[in-house]
Amino acid sequence: MKPFSVIDKKELAHLEYEVLIDRNKYMPANDWCIEQFGSRWSPIDNRSGSWSMFWAGRDHIDKYRFCFANKEDLMMFILRWS
């Protein structure tokens, strides 16, 4: 049995479009995404979500990764937050 915090990459396969943004923008960008696209994808309670957000990890300490199921949503996000 794998640890609860591990997310299988296959579970995220539908969120194939992604972009990194600075950490000082991630909370307002999160709120904007909720308004635009609805609740974010979650392995626990919203597997049908079309977007999600994660810390980008130790290679990009000051960034967050926003992932989208639709290329159009990604483009809208980039236009708003770049």
Residue 3: pLDDT band (50, 70, 90) is very low
Average pLDDT over residues 7-14: 67
Q: How far apart are CA 34 and CA 66, in angstroms?
A: 12
Segments making up each domain of the chain, as ranges: 9-81
pLDDT of 4 above 70: no
CA distance 25 to 33: 12
Please give the backbone phi and psi of residue 38, each rounded to the nearest 5 degrees, phi first.
90, -170
**51-63 tens-digit pLDDT:** 999 999 999 999 9
For the record, the structure tokens of 6 come out as 């591990």
Pairwise CA distance, residues 35 & 38, whole Å: 6
pLDDT band at 14; cut points 50, 70, 90: confident
Cα separation, 6 vs 50, in Å, equals: 20
